[in-house]
Amino acid sequence: MPEKLWEKNTPVDRAVETFTIGRDREIDRYLATYDVLGSIAHVIMLESVGLLSKQELNALLPELKEIYRLADRGELLIEEHVEDVHSQVELMLTRKLGDAGKKIHSGRSRNDQALLDLKLFTRAKIQEIVRLASGLFTVLQERSERHKNSLLPGYTHLQIAMPSSFGLWFGAYAESLTDDMLLMQAAYKICNRNPLGSAAGYGSSFPLNRQMTTDLLGFDSMNYNAVYAQMGRGKMERTASFALAGMAATLSKLACDACLFSSQNFGFIKLPDSFTTGSSIMPHKKNPDVFELARAKCNKIQGLPQQITLISNNLPSGYFRDLQIIKEIFLPSFDELMDCLRMITRMMQEMIVNEQIIEDDKYAFLFSVEEVNRLVTSSGMPFRDAYKKVGLAIEAGTFVPDKTVRHTHEGSAGNLCNDRIAALMQTILDGFPFDKVNEAENKLVDK
């Protein structure tokens, strides 16, 4: 059997081969389990339309499931000179089963096979990200409630502005995750449509049953138009990358806050010593390296949509090899974001909050607006007159702050609305059809 699915009798120049294969043999290991999963659904469908015999199907399924288990353990290796994971799986089947292994490619192209692998991979990784982000959300909400009465300076222009609280700070990032999760759900829904059967982008003369593979793989629906299914390559990755970038932006901002707040100039939070690193020259240093690295990794992920756009934005309809390069930047980004979610969740759980921040006199002017509002409500003084009176007292050095904060409206320090934010998050989580997908996949591999 040729080592490449398309190879005939004329050998390809070695330099051309190396350049065109690129990192596929390495990167396709991300896709191995999903490639086999798609092949299981495909051969079941082929037998149903008469392109495989029942005997051939019965021989193929156990072998495919064994390859799946090998890939699931991370032990499926793409051999030297084998081009990609598709070729490796077909080669392994043909060695074992002969002609039956050669028949599994009937009615599909590497184009729709790669599209399917990418979609199955992406929806699985989104499920992992949703689980981790949900865990971080729970930690942030718990800490918001625990520290709802712990005051914290609020800033505009990096100048002290108004009283905030740790309840507001933790809760703000929890609510930010709800918007990130909504965008993630939109990406999931776009991803969760079946391209298999679109072949090279123009369908097939075989009597394929695309609805069967859609159902077997737990997709919501198929990409109906074969040309559009192929046009979705690059578009799906770009859409998902925007969702990754949105969540990365939340984590990056949180990490930046934590770096500032843990510095001696602020002293708002403290990390356990075991969560910090030291300096090779300064014995006193305790560096928030986790937050700094998370910030950098998340900023890198925020550049992903632009990279994918620049690779794919001037391609006409149809398949082009340019799209291969997207895999190299897209597939590893999920693991990077998940690493950041895990580490930031641990940091949020363990950080120590300074409960006495506001006692420092340098924060006295935080309460100037509180005094303006007190004058308005207690004496009926017009707001602008009250503003001027407090401003003149500050200029004269006679302002004495009342550090009692009386905020009661929705979303303020005295009314965090954490229960409503939790309900919003639950509604979003309930919109992911993970159970249906997991049941379909587990049934295919007898889990």
Identify the DSSP state of 79.
P
Measured in residues, the chain has a length of 447
Residue 279 is a catalytic residue: yes
Q: What is the pLDDT along the chain (447 residues), one digit of tens a residue?
A: 445 554 555 666 677 766 666 676 678 889 999 999 999 999 999 999 999 999 999 999 999 999 999 999 999 988 888 888 999 999 999 999 999 999 999 999 999 999 999 999 999 999 999 999 999 999 999 999 999 999 999 999 999 999 999 999 999 999 999 999 999 999 999 999 999 999 999 999 999 999 999 999 999 999 999 999 999 999 999 999 999 999 999 999 999 999 999 999 999 999 888 877 766 677 677 888 899 999 999 999 999 999 999 999 888 988 888 898 999 999 999 999 999 999 999 999 999 999 999 999 999 999 999 999 999 999 889 999 999 999 999 999 999 999 989 899 999 999 999 999 999 999 999 999 999 999 999 999 996
Q: Where are the domains positioned within the chain?
A: 14-105, 121-148+165-205+228-359+417-434, 360-415
Please identify which of the residues 241, 279, 333, 368 carries the catalytic annotation: 279
> Which run of H or E residues covers position 153?
strand 151-156
Based on the number of CB atoms within 10 Å of its own CB, is 101 exposed (0-12), middle (13-18) or buried (19 or more)? buried
Could you give the residue ranges of the DSSP H alpha helices within 380-417?
383-396
Can you say whether residue 432 is alpha, beta or left, with left for phi > 0 and alpha for psi between -120 and 50 degrees?
beta
What class has domain 121-148+165-205+228-359+417-434?
Answer: mainly alpha
Q: Please enumerate in sequence order all residues whose Cβ is within 8 A of that of 157, keeping only pairs 6 or more positions apart, or say none.
A: none
Please identify which of the residues 157, 205, 274, 378 carries the catalytic annotation: 157
What class has domain 14-105?
Answer: mainly alpha
* pTM for the model: 0.92
